[in-house]
A and B are shown apart, each in its own frame.
Chain A
């Protein structure tokens, strides 16, 4: 593990963010935790301090609110200093049928899962000293790998994010800015509590461990757990005449 570093976490009360942050706290990282609910962020910050983090501050805001992202990003950077690592872990799993009925719900899903995330990344990278090392870790989803009837609003948002991060990574190739995209499969977190959980579900802690490894090894894209790479490689490569008949 690298030297103690400062980690900015957007969506810090999410299960995967907590799992990752705990592992990094044990290595002496300090944190600025951003999210919606101050009480919850404080509980997470207490946990990280007790787990070994020398410092864990909190900042409360609605990250999905598109207004003033640039100003807020500048405020966070000014207050915390330039982070060595950014983890973007917020997101919402929309109800597909509702998104098709209610366009406001669809718009909200796009804003939470793609538009705001892309703007936050642009704002955090804007005017950053080009030689300052950074690991920018974004939680994507296997759902972004192919549009599917059952969740293409969420899938399109995560797929758009995937393209955005791919281009960003190409731009920064060969620089100390590393762009890491994590694509979890099913994770046993509050976000998926409405779904019946089966054997394919991974614990947030297992995903947290995968993220640590991905960052250490400088991976560009990582599936978590790894076997989703195999599953998604098959799904991505299914010819249309097969794919159109699948009910997935």
Chain B
């Protein structure tokens, strides 16, 4: 049976659910359908994967949105060399189901497995092992890029190298990433040996992070409600792949659908309770082993946790602050957050390393990265996000486009001085709300 993909006008949100606006949505089942859509004339086109980006990098209101969730086929896998090529809509979720039983894992994973390879490339995502492994793009060998001119280009560090660099972290502006070829890493077990340590304050975080250099996976969770001398109090988690324990894959989400609470569920009281509970979870303070699923993807058991923030949605701030300003700036960001009492459900603090993927608009740089969620309470939340963004930018840092909803064009230009080379490589048929917002161009 052959079906022509039809575009249907429907309202679309990003993961943060701050807006819900009409897009002409198509979901091509095969690459030839996708190529036809890319080549067709029309309003600006944006390609989207599973929509886990928090802000407007995955939105193109009033324009065309091509969703790749059906383009999820493996093209080949080399289980000796640890290499795979797949259509760009393949999710890490499905890839792991195929490769984990055979002793392989993705070299870099973000905090959810419900992202596509194409999305992971376009946002050059990073994970808990950034210091040793770099970001996702560092493990991409080749990309197939379909341009609106009708040509399909193979990009790598050797061929079409500039376009390759513009496409890694390029937020989908250079064309349709049709397939991704990447390396995998061998694992002996689907579990990690982990340790959890208490962090007394921000200085303690930097001390423990320094002392954890031989742990490939590190991340800290910070209690945003702590103030004064306890500012930065939290848990530091570190892990490495275990040698034994079997190669069992993860299970599907336990709760497929999160309710949308009538009021705002996550007020500061419930957040206090959650924070206390989170600190008591298994292996809080101690050592043990843990399956990769709860270790890398603690929120994935609740399929639509973003709905817990209520109808108005939520903002996320994620910035990276280079050394040596990192310590003082993290303190300022946390102080500003605590002083406002707008609460942050999840605060994640982590060091990023030197390793570069080569992506022009790649977010990671050596320093500390802090991520904070804020339920949307209207203008005052937006102002807080802008304040945090200003603090980060003033310290020489930058914001993560995949999370951002507030960055100004000035902040974008300061954080990503080479952005014009991506604009130069942008496929003129492509655009997004984010790109139009931060470049001020008619993208």
Contact = CB atoms under 8 A, between A and B. Distances in A.
Interface in A168-201: 189-191, 193-194, 196
A13 B1 contact: yes
B1 A51 contact: no
A65 interface: no
A37 B2 contact: yes
Interface stretch (B12-20, B67-75, B361-369, B404-412): B67-75
A50 B75 contact: yes
B36 interface: no
Contacts of A193: 3, 5-6, 8, 27
Interface string A36-54: 1101100110110111100
B1 A43 contact: no
Contacts of B76: 46, 49-50
Greatest chain A CB density within 10 A among B31, B77, B86 is at: B77
Greatest chain A CB density within 10 A among B31, B74, B87 is at: B74
Query: Size class of A's contact patch?
Result: 20 to 34
Given A39-B32, A190-B29, A193-B8, A50 B77 contact: yes
Given A40-B32, A50-B84, A14 B1 contact: yes
B240 to A, nearest CB: 28
Given A46-B74, A50-B75, A190-B70, A36 B32 contact: no
B74 A50 contact: yes
A91 B1 contact: yes
A96 to B, nearest CB: 17
A26 B77 CA distance: 14
Identify whether the interface residues of B are mostly helix, strand, loop, or mixed.
mixed
Contacts of B29: 13, 15, 189-190
Interface string A85-121: 0000011100000000000000000000000000000
Interface in A34-86: 35-37, 39-40, 43-44, 46-47, 49-52
B98 A50 contact: yes
A11 interface: yes
Given A15-B29, A39-B32, A190-B29, A51 B74 contact: yes
Given A14-B1, A46-B75, A193-B5, A51 B98 contact: yes
28 contacts: A13-B1, A13-B2, A13-B29, A15-B29, A26-B98, A26-B101, A36-B1, A36-B2, A39-B30, A39-B32, A40-B2, A43-B75, A46-B73, A46-B74, A47-B74, A50-B84, A50-B98, A51-B74, A90-B1, A92-B1, A190-B5, A190-B27, A190-B70, A191-B1, A191-B3, A194-B6, A194-B8, A196-B8
Interface of A: 11, 13-15, 26, 35-37, 39-40, 43-44, 46-47, 49-52, 90-92, 189-191, 193-194, 196
